[in-house]
Amino acid sequence: MAVLFVIAPVQIYYRVLPLIEEKKFKKLTVITTKELEPFFKEHTNAEVIVPKVHPNLITRKNKSKIIGNLIKAKLEYRRIFKNIENEEIYFFFTAWALLLFYYINNLSKKNKVYLYRDSENSYEMYKEEKSIRASMMKFFSRLFLGLKINVISKEGTPVWLLPENSFPMTVISARQDEKLVNKYLSDTSFLKGKNTLFIGDNIDIEGADEDSVINLSDNIIDIFNKKFKNSYVIKPHPREQKLYGKMANSKNVISPYILAETIMGHDWKFIVGYYSEALISARKLTNAKVISLLHLFNWGNKELKEYWQKRMKKEGLFIPESLQEFKEIIKG
């Protein structure tokens, strides 16, 4: 049996699915989030488990319940993983999910653990936080979870970051196989008559100025309504489902639980978004004009903008410098 820990859409097509195809596991368990649960239930034969305790263990909303969550986490570990020995454990992320790091660390004592990591990792640009807060977080992790952890600051938000020497693991560079997507497409008949896809995301948590993003989003909706009428759809991010301005009240919003990659088989003419891995996937997987709006709102993080600009240019996306240039791109 193999156990896979998966927490983000970007991990699925370029890391998780190639692994499943290669290994052809006879028995597979996927530990994931409620947002990704539908995908794995539709497209795999895996047993899918969503932990009841929050993947971060500690959040602003539940920090007052930390003792209760610790107890629940330890009970949940015993319930799900107690009898797992001499198996293969795979995970695909090194940030945020403290609870899952705790589970994987415990599993590493009696199982072989593999980290499939992406060669492109935006977390590497953030500096380790040196503060009393970070020291307390690291102390907590070590004392109560037996876990060596680092803390970085992402736009003022502390983020758990797992060192690759935290516990025994084999680190493997991610592989990409765009051809696999064709095997995992969803039925897109509900998109009949639609030619334009807007991929939403909650980018003010990344340092974008929210007012400028709302203004941009309102302008994009006005342009879409004038040019495309009802032939466009808006797809929120599966986890960060926030939509800005007029987009939040649009009648053209489709379910956030649809992964963008699963509808890349549709005949899109234009695919638009702020910036995201999904846009890069769209450039590789479709014949659409793929457009990033990263120059059209105000950023608070210059390094992050430069990171995404470099990646978008490398992949050949359109990156308009103005709304007028955007209008010119979608003329055809």
- Given a contact cutoff of 8 angstroms between Cβ atoms, the answer to whether 294 and 305 are in contact is yes
CA distance 195 to 215: 24
CA distance 12 to 39: 10
Quote the tokens at residue 86: 């001499």
DSSP character for 16? I
Residue 108, C-beta contacts closer than 8 angstroms, at least 6 positions apart: 89, 167, 168, 169
CA distance 119 to 172: 10
Tokens 């009970």 belong to residue: 75
- pLDDT tens-digit map of 145-165: 999 999 988 777 788 899 989
CA distance 220 to 244: 11
DSSP character for 52? S
Quote the tokens at residue 266: 């549709």
The pTM score is: 0.88
CA distance 99 to 97: 6
pLDDT for the residue 59: 64
193 alpha-carbon distance from chain centroid? 28
Regions of the chain short of the pLDDT cut 70: 58-64, 119-125, 175-178, 332
Task: Tell me how far CA of residue 67 lies from CA of 79, 101, 104, 114, 146, in angstroms.
Answer: 19, 18, 20, 30, 15
- Given a contact cutoff of 8 angstroms between Cβ atoms, the answer to whether 62 and 54 are in contact is yes
- Given a contact cutoff of 8 angstroms between Cβ atoms, the answer to whether 201 and 241 are in contact is no
CA distance 206 to 318: 21
Task: Identify the CA nearest to 15 among candidates 153, 160, 173.
Answer: 173
CA distance 252 to 246: 11
DSSP string, 141-152: HHHHH----EEE
Residue 216, C-beta contacts closer than 8 angstroms, at least 6 positions apart: 244, 293, 296, 297
- Given a contact cutoff of 8 angstroms between Cβ atoms, the answer to whether 274 and 205 are in contact is no
CA angle 315/298/260 to nearest 5° reads 40
DSSP string, 167-215: SS-EEEE----GGGGGGSPPP-GGGTT--EEEE----GGGTB-HHHHHH
Cβ burial, residue 163 (10 Å; 0-12/13-18/19+): exposed
Beta bridge partners of residue 90, listed in sequence order: 4, 114
Characterize the bridge pairing of strands 150-154 and 157-161.
antiparallel
- Given a contact cutoff of 8 angstroms between Cβ atoms, the answer to whether 107 and 170 are in contact is no
pLDDT for the residue 184: 85
Ordered by where they begin, the domains of the chain are: 2-183 (3.40.50), 189-329 (3.40.50.850)
Quote the tokens at residue 295: 């120059």
